[in-house]
Homo-oligomer: A and B are copies of this chain.
Amino acid sequence: MNKVTVQCPGTVANLVCGFDILGMALNAPYDIMEVRLIDEPRVIIISKDGFPLPSDPAQNTAGAPLLEMLEELNGDTGPANRPTHPVGFEVSITKKIKPGSGLGSSAASAAGAVVAANHLLGNIFSKEDLVRFALFGEKVASGVKHADNITPCIYGGVTLIRSIFPLDIVPIAAPALHVTVVHPQIEVRTSDARQILRKQVLLKDAIRQWGNIAGLVAGFMGHDYDLIGRSLEDVIIEPVRSMLIPGFDAIKQCCKEAGALGGGISGSGPSIFMLSRDESTARKVENIMKDIYTRIGLDHHTYVTTINQQGVKVVA
């Protein structure tokens, strides 16, 4: 086998109160990537969708992680069972997760590339190794090695990054949840969304935030839907970033009134996600989102989906 096709899920980072530490994989939208093993130690990027993404592998979110993997393959500390002949990768990307949507578009490319490449190599790297490589894609995309999209994209489900240096990943068993996402067609760059955050926060706000984070983890693990809902509160990031997203407050309030457990900004936005206990509520929530953006006159796209439990999936 020298070619593999993978599905790379969109992801929701932060999950409202868990800035930089929590993330969740979605069953929709997802990218399709094809990775082919080549016999030269290089990486070739082929974009199939017309998004203006860099084709220089060192500047590409799928390419940079693969270059990192190749370096480790060829270095002194590479895995014992690495190939004995030179290898490289040719990557074709069909992007369905729009860059700048806040749904982990760059993470999907980075995670998909390394999972596919590892599959072709006979799975010689651990999932944690793959996260480590994929972080170089986020560095290229936003200037910051943040793992809260990459980790759920590779592991599936809801994941906690307890610590990034050293990397400490904790899968969190969450109950069945329905996720509604609206992507208003404006672009918020992750790097811009980071720059508007203050470097200092009030201790009293931090305490409120970590109460919510603890509550959210306890709600997920204890399958306590009400507690999940009460804990989906962000007093630090959302008050600043939501100003970049038209209609945010109205959407959040109306969706909760319609029965959503809660939700907020997906990653750095502009997408907004809402969690619901059942599909009919998730559909109601979708209609509310559509109504509000139609009234504002803003193009938008919606998804009604569930948590992806598997992460990047080999499909052929």
Enumerate chain A interface residues (CB-CB to B < 8 A). Answer: 17-22, 160-163, 168, 170, 172, 197-204, 206-218, 221-222, 227, 230-231, 236
Could you say which of B17, B199, B217 contacts A218, with CB atoms under 8 Å apart?
Answer: B217
Q: A201-B202, A213-B214, A221-B221 are in contact. List 19 more A-B contacts (CB 8 A).
A: A18-B214, A19-B207, A19-B210, A21-B214, A22-B214, A160-B211, A160-B218, A162-B215, A163-B215, A170-B214, A200-B202, A200-B203, A203-B236, A206-B209, A209-B210, A214-B214, A214-B217, A217-B217, A218-B221
Q: Cβ of A209: which chain B residues have Cβ within 8 Å of it?
A: 206, 210
25 CB contacts below 8 A, A to B, read: A19-B207, A20-B207, A21-B207, A21-B210, A21-B214, A160-B211, A161-B211, A162-B214, A162-B227, A162-B230, A168-B215, A168-B230, A170-B214, A170-B227, A199-B202, A199-B203, A199-B204, A200-B203, A209-B210, A210-B210, A213-B213, A214-B216, A214-B217, A218-B221, A221-B221
Check B163 against A208 for contact (C-beta < 8 Å). Answer: yes
Copies, count = 2
Q: Cβ of A198: which chain B residues have Cβ within 8 Å of it?
A: 203
Q: Cβ of A214: which chain B residues have Cβ within 8 Å of it?
A: 18, 21-22, 160, 162, 170, 213-214, 216-217
Check B208 against A206 for contact (C-beta < 8 Å). Answer: no
Check A212 against B19 for contact (C-beta < 8 Å). Answer: no
A20 to chain B, nearest CB (A): 5
A9 to chain B, nearest CB (A): 22
Q: Cβ of A19: which chain B residues have Cβ within 8 Å of it?
A: 207, 210
Check B211 against A162 for contact (C-beta < 8 Å). Answer: yes
* Cα–Cα, bound, A214→B174 (Å): 14
A295 to chain B, nearest CB (A): 33
A28 to chain B, nearest CB (A): 26
Could you say which of B161, B204, B211, B222 contacts A221, with CB atoms under 8 Å apart?
Answer: B222
* Cα–Cα, bound, A54→B161 (Å): 48
Q: Cβ of A170: which chain B residues have Cβ within 8 Å of it?
A: 214-215, 218, 227
Q: Cβ of A161: which chain B residues have Cβ within 8 Å of it?
A: 211
Q: A227-B170, A231-B162 are in contact. Are A201 and B206 (CB under 8 A)?
A: yes
Which of A22, A211, A227 counts the most chain B CB atoms within 10 A? A211
A185 to chain B, nearest CB (A): 30
Q: Cβ of A172: which chain B residues have Cβ within 8 Å of it?
A: 218
A158 to chain B, nearest CB (A): 10
